[in-house]
Amino acid sequence: MKLAIIPARGGSKRIPRKNIKLFCEKPMIAWSIEAALKSGCFDQVIVSTDDEEIAEVARLYGATVPFMRPVHLSDDHTGTIPVIQHAIEWVNTQGQSVEQACCLYATAPFVSREDIRRGLETLEASGGDYAFSVTSYAFPIQRAIRLNKNGRVEMFNPEHFNTRSQDLEEAFHDAGQFYWGKADAWLQGRMIFGTGSLPVALPRHRVQDIDTPEDWVRAEWLFKAMQAEAQ
């Protein structure tokens, strides 16, 4: 079976109750649930949470919450892979067999059903362990700067000060939306950012980190503009 797993713990610090805070008139998590359901890729869409209110909202929008996430997997230091492993193992113990699982973040309102499908197609065609969303950096990372201990500017790669931007290798980063993977890759804890993974490239305007109130306001403006353009 193909499983969508949406991790959504209740302890968000920077934006309290972030997973169910209203984003463009819907709880944030609802956008991810609806994209998963509309993609037609999944036999089951599960929300993994330790929070009863999040569980209630998830069920309202069509996801299942067949278990409550254990406390030891719900703190600030728990990574994504152990949470996905737990969900796959739980489903397997119910007499079902998970073949592929997609971790879909609850705070990814820009995720689309089409991209989720592309992720599955990429994984199946490649024979790789994972396929996940990426996007390109807007500025050459080879010309990044930092502040030293004296507050002065230094280049990370000073040898590229005079290199033309168009001559520098393009760099990408995790888009933070979804991670398709073979069940055995998840269960064995194989590295996501490695040679066993394939990229699903997204345009930069549809990749938004939402970690602060300022991020939230900017993301809503952009989301509303995209919705208006689509009408």
Strand duo 100-104 + 172-182: pairing: antiparallel
In a domain? residue 142: no
d(CA 16, CA 105): 17
Residue 145 lies in a domain: no
Place of tokens 């406390």: 71
The Cα 130–Cα 225 span in angstroms is 32
Query: Which two structure tokens, joined as six digits, stand for 101?
Result: 């699982």
Domain membership of residue 216 (yes or no) is yes
| pLDDT score of 68 more than 80 | yes
Residue pair 134/201 in contact by the 8 Å Cβ criterion = yes
32 inside domain: yes
Which CATH number is 59's domain given?
3.90.550.10
Q: Domains in the chain: how many in total?
A: 1
Q: Encode pLDDT of 103-155 as tens digits.
A: 999 999 999 999 999 999 999 999 999 999 999 999 999 999 999 999 999 99
Q: Between these two residues, 15 and 11, which has the higher pLDDT value?
A: 15
The pTM score is 0.94
> Which residue from 210, 155, 185, 178 is spatially nearest to 28, judged by alpha carbons?
210
Rounded to an integer, the average pLDDT of 45-51 is 97
Q: Can you give the residue range of the structural domain that contains 97?
A: 2-133+174-230
pLDDT of res. 128:
96
pLDDT of residue 85: 98
DSSP 139-156: S-GGG-EEE-TTS-EEES
Quote helix, strand, coil % in the chain, to nearest 5. Answer: 40, 20, 40
Asked if the structure places residue 111 within a domain, the reply is yes
On whether residue 167 sits in a domain, the answer given is no
